[in-house]
Amino acid sequence: MTIRVPPPLVLAGQRAEKLAELRALLPRLDHVHADAGVLPFGIGAIDARLPGGGLALDGLHEIAPQTIFDNGCALGFLASRLSLRQAKGMVWLVTSPRGLACNGRLYGHGLNALGLDPARLIVVMAGDETEAAWAMEEILRSGAAAAVAAVTGGGMDAATSRRLQLAAASAPCPLFLLRPPLAAPSLAALTRWRIGAAAGPRDRFGLLTAWRWHVRLERSRNGQSGSWLMEYDHASHRLDLSATLADPALSRRPGQRAKVA
């Protein structure tokens, strides 16, 4: 389902009131719902680096590609996280024109291959980044979402990211932001992830048998970070650590020789 939303109406006379409201909300940004829980990866090496053993269900999490050529990898990582959110309700995805320019339109079969049922997804097409932020906040405050994600193409000021973090904490509902590789980081994000492509395993005909990604945790509220090579299993719809190849030839193309030091 795709929805186009009208822009928010904010009168000039309301500016002082809005600023006062935002200042009142700032001290509450670190409020945590004891029963909000986490969305674990199910991988001990990663969950051990995250507060509570997973991605907090009451906060903002930022994802960015390593380069402009890794947009698909970052989108795949986002979809794999959303597929794990099995709570009652729909998954909402907010896009903007700049976000679509970076990543293209979503493809239902591709999402399904990543474990995310398109029937659970509602896509909101905003007119610009301001409308996208407004839509995210309204969806979070509605309490009608199992998870909210956004694919945007621009930066986000500190005040906006704080408001979104507070809305996610109040819901409580996880919010995932997919940002361009060079966008300034969201100051209020609980975690920040950087995703890049990695050489995948190949069969004897030289065809790829799985996707591999370099996954880096750049920031976490507990100060932890880490980097992992991960592989997506199409059959189980599971993203797991990639085992060290006993035979490196499996990841080389036919005719490609091993490097000699």
pLDDT at 235: 79
Q: Compute the distance between CA of residue 169 and CA of residue 120 in angstroms, rounded to an integer.
A: 22
User: Where do we find the tokens 């036919």?
Assistant: 254
Q: Compute the distance between CA of residue 251 and CA of residue 209 in angstroms, rounded to an integer.
A: 10
Q: Compute the distance between CA of residue 99 and CA of residue 125 in angstroms, rounded to an integer.
A: 10
- Domain residue extents for the chain: 2-6+37-196
Q: Which long-range contacts (CB under 8 A, 24 or more apart) does 20-23 make?
A: 22/159, 22/162, 22/163
Average pLDDT over residues 135-151: 94
pLDDT at 253: 46
79's tokens: 């979809």
Contacts of 222 (CB under 8 A, 6+ apart): 49, 50, 51
More confident residue, 187 or 220: 220
Average pLDDT over residues 157-182: 93
Q: What is the pLDDT of residues 5-17, one digit of tens each?
A: 555 555 555 666 6
Is residue 195 within 8 Å of residue 64, measured between CB atoms? yes
Is residue 83 within 8 Å of residue 39, measured between CB atoms? no
Superfamily covering domain 2-6+37-196: P-loop containing nucleotide triphosphate hydrolases (3.40.50.300)
Which H or E element spans position 137?
A: helix 129-142
% residues pLDDT > 90 (the chain): 52
CB atoms within 10 A of CB 218: 15
More confident residue, 235 or 181: 181
Pairing of strands 238-241, 175-178: unpaired
Pairing of strands 191-198, 175-178: unpaired
Binning pLDDT at 50, 70 and 90, where does residue 1 land?
low
Q: Compute the distance between CA of residue 111 and CA of residue 106 in angstroms, rounded to an integer.
A: 8
Q: Compute the distance between CA of residue 87 and CA of residue 90 in angstroms, rounded to an integer.
A: 9
pLDDT at 186: 84
Average pLDDT over residues 107-134: 91
**pTM of the predicted structure, to 2 decimals:** 0.79
